[in-house]
Structure 1
Amino acid sequence: MKKSDLKDGEGGHSPSQLIDARIKELSDWRGNTLSHVRALIKQADPDVVEEWKWRGVPVWSHDGIICTGETYKSVVKLTFAKGASVEDPSGLFNSSLEGNTRRAIDLHEAEEIDEDAFKALIRAAIALNKSKTRKA
């Protein structure tokens, strides 16, 4: 992580530290799920930048936002900022399907995610971000 990313932290903590704290605070299946998808994101892109935005939402970026990781009572929601433009051959997107921009994956307790398909989706989102950066 770059030092410049610390500006998004709260109370002098880095975004990564804040995400660690959120996972620990949840201390249930949601924390385990968030930790697992975070690890998959880092495997898919070792250069991913972790951010903490909107007063408590973990965000993963590379040349723009890849996805956010919101936690609710019954779901961990991974919202892809440009998901409507990302190929999803495995059909992981199962939420926010009606919009023209975002798509999301809702993970419920005891659900497993296809790890290879998820990492491919992360890489596709990064490729889209990079293509948009080059055009700008």
Structure 2
Amino acid sequence: MSEEWRAARVAHIRELITTAEIVEEIKWRKPSNPDGVPTFSLDGLVCTLETYKDKVKVTFAKGAALPDPAKVFNARLTAGTRRAVDVRKSDVLDDDAFRDLIRAAVAVNRE
């Protein structure tokens, strides 16, 4: 996360996710990604948070099962199970709608 905008985005998104008392863990460490992937769980996997050169990606494990009236999901829209939110440098993230997705993901895990 050498570029400042990505680090700032990750910190902001992490804050939105963890307000739901979700547990953060680092998984899937490998030589090409020694820092691993931040994962967020509460009664099961909620989402992962990854950085790429041009974006920060939040992938919801059961995203296809979540209501998204604000249309926050903008990636993996045709995937059978997962949905993702790609946030680029100039994008504005709807914090309230994102928190709604987090709450909905926890509710699906608890079903």
Q: What is the TM-score normalised by the length of structure 1? A: 0.74
Q: Which of 16, 35, 46 is the aligned partner of 1:40?
A: 16
Query: CA offset at residue 26 of structure 1?
Result: 3.0
Name 1:79's counterpart in structure 2.
59
Residue 122 of structure 1 pairs with residue 98 of structure 2: no
User: Which is strand-richer, 1 or 2?
Assistant: 2
Matched residue SS, 1:26 = coil
Unmatched runs of 5 consecutive residues or more in structure 2: 30-35
Q: Confirm whether residue 53 of structure 1 aligns to residue 30 of structure 2.
A: no
Provide the residue aligned with 1:134 in structure 2: none
Write the deviation string for residues 16-71 of structure 1: whole angstroms up to 9, x where unpaired.
xxxxxxxxx5351111000000001122x0x2100111111001110011110010
> How do 1:1-136 residues align onto structure 2 when only pairs under 5 Å count?
25-43=1-19, 45=20, 47-55=21-29, 56-131=36-111
TM normalised by structure 2 equals 0.91
Structure ID, larger Rg: 1
| Aligned equivalents of 1:114, 1:100: Cα separation in 2 | 24
Task: Report the Cα distance in structure 2 between the residues aligned to 1:114 and 1:125, rounded to whole angstroms.
Answer: 17
1:121 alignment partner AA: L
Amino acid at match of 1:93: F
Residue identity in the other structure for 1:28: E
Between the aligned residues of both structures, percent identity stands at 50
Shift of 1:110: 2.1
User: Which has the bigger relative contact order, CA under 8 A and spacing at least 6?
Assistant: 2
CA distance in 2, matches of 1:59, 1:112: 23
Distance 1:91 1:108 in 2: 16
Question: What is the RMSD of the two structures over their aligned residues, measured on CA atoms?
Answer: 1.0
Q: In the comparison of the two structures, how many residue pairs are matched?
A: 105
Q: Secondary structure at the match of 2:6?
A: helix
Q: Quick one: which amino acid aligns to residue 97 of structure 1? A: L
One-letter code aligned to 1:39: E
